[in-house]
Amino acid sequence: MTITSQDVYQSLAKYMADGLAISDESGRITDCNPALAALLSQSADEIIGKQLCDVLDCTCWDQEGPGDGKSLVLAGEDSGNVHNATIVCKTGMDLMMPVSHLPFVKDGKQRSHLTVVYIIQAHSVQQAQTDFVSTVSHELRTPLTSIKGFADTILRAGDRLDASQQKRYIGIIKEQADRLTRLVEDLLAVSRLESRKLQLTIRAIELEPAVKRVILNLTDKAENHQIATRLPAGLPSVWADADRLEQILTNLIDNAIKYSPPKTTVTISARSIAQNPEDIEREMVEFSVADQGGGIPTDQLPEIFNKFSRLDNPLVRQTEGTGLGLYITKSLVLALGGTITVDSERGSTTFTVRLPAATLEEQAARGRG
């Protein structure tokens, strides 16, 4: 028995999880697969013969309308680019899903369209959104519970609390309010990064002063740690946004302090990665932040840059954090045209960032531009 290409395509259409609809030049659906029928809660016979615009809201007609023999114009049909469309279901529920339209051309003339509804992708996105909302709700609930609990105690029994108790309770409220502020700021940063609305002002930045500013800002947190710097003289500047560079350094150094035992050393080092004459890549500046903590298990290394990812060990559980810091850090590094890697073993973890170097040649070239 010979299996033809047509047999393969028919099987794919029949058993694939994404929805397919074929429509003619006038926009009338001439065929669909079982996945689309199940999504719309209709049989194939009910769908065939309908106008595509009755099933999807992403279609538009030319100014004279479909009744005058004009061809259907579909959003995104030129390149098959995926865009969102509302799926009109028989149950009355409208679903927003990714859709693309692909024209069928025969003898140089467009004859019909294949519309693909990406059900699997939509489900994955919806699940990710649900998980994100659930995680954020959990992260918000913990500090809010503390704030409400201690505020209620002060209101109820304020006159029976001595000054030290009142001060301690108010201090806890402030700490948890600060925690909420950090979470909101991190969520806003994630939103800007993912919507590509992050504004960057790229210029030549000297690394050593940036590192010193960050260390100074973290002085209180580092009171039980030693901070060592190994920044060689003559280190090239980096092409970066000053605020984002300091945010990257702050996240990495703060993490190193938080997740390593007291009396240990956090080391910040840097070097220039000279351009290989045979390599087309530009010169880079590399800086590393190393701690003397418990290390990260090898199987968890690929996950540490994910949103809300936190290691499951006692030191991490007793340390406050949103699980967004490394995700934001990696996103910022990539936005600046760099890379970030991590190496870890028991007793040592090192995060290494490479950013483009602002060499004198490049600064002169940019100045001429």
Domain of 30, CATH number, reads 3.30.450.20
Q: Is there a single domain that holds both residue 111 and residue 127?
A: no
Mean pLDDT of the chain: 80
Which pair of tokens denotes residue 199? 């504004």
- Count up the domains in the chain and report the number: 3
Nearest to 89 by CA among 49, 116, 43, 55: 55
Give me the residues paired with residue 284 across strands: 273, 356
- What is the residue range of 12's domain? 5-117
Q: Are residues 16 and 163 in the same domain?
A: no
Question: Residue 319: what pLDDT?
Answer: 55
Mean pLDDT of each 10-residue bin along the chain, 369 residues long: 79 86 87 88 89 72 42 51 74 74 75 83 64 70 86 86 88 87 80 75 93 92 93 92 92 92 94 65 88 87 78 52 80 91 91 88 55
How much is the pLDDT for 185?
80
Q: Indicate which CATH number applies to the domain containing 144.
A: 1.10.287.130
Tell me, what's the pLDDT at 26?
Answer: 83
Q: Which pLDDT belongs to residue 84?
A: 76
The sign of the CA dihedral 282, 235, 269, 193 is: negative
One domain, residues 110 and 231: no
State the chain's maximal CA–CA distance in angstroms. Answer: 91
Distance between alpha carbon 181 and the CA centroid of its chain, in Å? Answer: 20
Phi, psi at residue 311, to the nearest 5°?
-70, 150
What is the SS3 string spanning the chain?
A: CCCCHHHHHHHHHHHCCCEEEEEECCCEEEEECHHHHHHHCCCHHHHCCCEHHHCECCEECCCCCHHHCCCCEECCCCCCCCEEEEEECCCCCEEEEEEEEEEEEECCEEEEEEEEECHHHHHHHHHHHHHHHHHHHHHHHHHHHHHHHHHHHHHHHHHHCCHHHHHHHHHHHHHHHHHHHHHHHHHHHHHHHHCCCCCCCEEEECHHHHHHHHHHHCCCCCCCCEEEEECCCCCCEEEEEHHHHHHHHHHHHHHHHHCCCCCCEEEEEEEEECCCCCCCCCCEEEEEEEECCCCCCHHHHHHCCCCCCCCCCHHHHCCCCCCCHHHHHHHHHHHCCCEEEEEEECCEEEEEEEEEEECHHHHHHHHHC
pLDDT 10s digits, 202-234: 999 999 999 999 999 899 889 999 999 999 998
Spatial neighbors of 7 by CB under 8 A, at least 6 apart, are: none
- State whether 176 and 207 are in the same domain: no
Strand 265-273 and strand 226-230: pairing? Answer: parallel
Residues paired with 229 in a beta bridge: 268
As a whole number of angstroms, the distance between CA 182 and CA 144 comes to 13
Residue where a domain terminates, one of 86, 117, 148: 117
153 in the same domain as 27: no
pLDDT at 65: 42
Residues 307 and 176 occupy one common structural domain: no
CA dist 126 and 124 (Å) reads: 5
102 plus 129 within the same structural domain: no
Does residue 325 share a domain with residue 234?
A: yes
> How many whole angstroms separate alpha carbon 256 and alpha carbon 292?
8
Q: Is the dihedral of CA 208, 213, 216, 221 positive or negative?
A: negative
Q: For position 321, what pLDDT does the model report?
A: 57
User: Do 72 and 170 share a domain, yes or no?
Assistant: no
- Contacts of residue 119, defined as CB under 8 A and 6 or more positions apart, other chains included, come to 17, 18, 19, 35, 39, 97
Using the 3D structure, point to which of 178, 194, 210 is the last residue of a domain: 194
pLDDT at 62: 41
**Burial class of residue 136 in the structure, from the number of CB atoms within 10 Å of its CB (0-12 exposed, 13-18 middle, 19+ buried):** middle
The confidence score (pLDDT) of residue 52 equals 87
pTM confidence score: 0.58
At residue 79, the pLDDT reads 45
Does residue 235 sit in the same domain as residue 148? no
